[in-house]
Structure 1
Amino acid sequence: MGNKAVIVVHSGDMDKIYSALIIGNGALSMGLESSLYFTFWGLQRLKKGGLEAGPLSKMHMLGLGKWMVKKRMTKANVVSLEKLMQDYKELGGRIIACEMTMEIMGIKKEDLRTDWIDEYGAVGTYIHEAKDASITLFI
């Protein structure tokens, strides 16, 4: 097993995107390689302007829950998703966008933040990344 963390980012919920990026950054800061494979609703967050657009997974309450959580996060000095993504990329983290999801959901490359994406691939790309990973997660 290699020193690598590979995370499937299936959910587009704000709190789950936070989890994926926090774990990915943690792995990178501890000397591991890290890849995030964005698929289905997670891939929606790679759209231009889409990173912060996701709902809260629980207690969303028509946006009120998300507003309250973001207010508490600001008070606790939690950085934004944009900053977490910037840190992730600066530390050498890889982002893979699922081509099958792009086709199914009608997402074109020009719809996405291509400056974040290292590779476009299907399940074989994910398997290649994950086969030697010491940590694999599905979020």
Structure 2
Amino acid sequence: MDTTKKTIIVFSGDLDRVMAAFIIANGAAAMGDDVTMFFTFWGLNAIRKPENIKVKKSFLQWMFGKMMPRGADKLGISKMNFGGMGATMMKMVMKQQNVTPLPELIRTAKEQGIKMIACTMSMDVMGIREEELIDGLEFAGVATYLGEADEANVNLFI
């Protein structure tokens, strides 16, 4: 076990939970730890590009893509979302309190060399293609994540 390695499964697509994952990841990286983030199912929405990318999909995959938020700025919050107003209100309060916004946390994670892996099985199920996701990701399955987790002393599921 490597006491300087951390892994985080990002399963949720909720703004507050994804922010927590990136705050923890960036904090660990700033302390010198190697960090791997594994994005699966709804967590993939946080790393989607905001623009609509035209790719061939089945009808159901196309519907998934239309219904899911596209990118970090479009995520709702887990509680008191109020039809989307909750995220707007939270972002206003975060700005007033000088809390780093999610897109900037993602940029910082890339700059710190945090390994971000998109789950290929979840991508297949949800009809998300590589070109629809942000640059700088790795693409792999659960075995790759488990290999990373086996070496870490902290494994989080958010």
The TM-score with structure 2 as length reference comes to 0.84
Per the alignment, residue 136 of structure 2 pairs with 116
The runs of 4+ residues in structure 1 deviating greater than 6 Å are none
CA distance in 1, matches of 2:102, 2:141: 25
1:46 to partner: Cα distance: 1.2
**For the residues of structure 2 that align with 1:91 and 1:109, how far apart are their CA atoms?**
22
1:24 and 2:25 matched: yes
Q: Which amino acid aligns with 1:65?
A: G
1:74 to 92, 95, 98: 95
Q: Could you tell me how far 1:60 is from its partner in structure 2?
A: 0.4
1:137 is aligned to: 156
Q: Give the gaps of 5 or more residues in structure 1.
A: none
Based on CA coordinates, which of the two structures has the bigger radius of gyration? 2
1:54-133 correspondence to structure 2 within 5 Å: 54-113=75-134, 115-117=135-137, 119-133=138-152
Deviation at 1:67, TM superposition (A): 1.4
* Other structure's SS at 1:131 match: helix
TM-score, normalising length: structure 1: 0.95
**How many aligned residue pairs are there?**
137
Q: Deviations over 1:30-60 (max 9, x none)?
A: 1110011000000122110111211100010
Q: Aligned letter for 2:99?
A: V
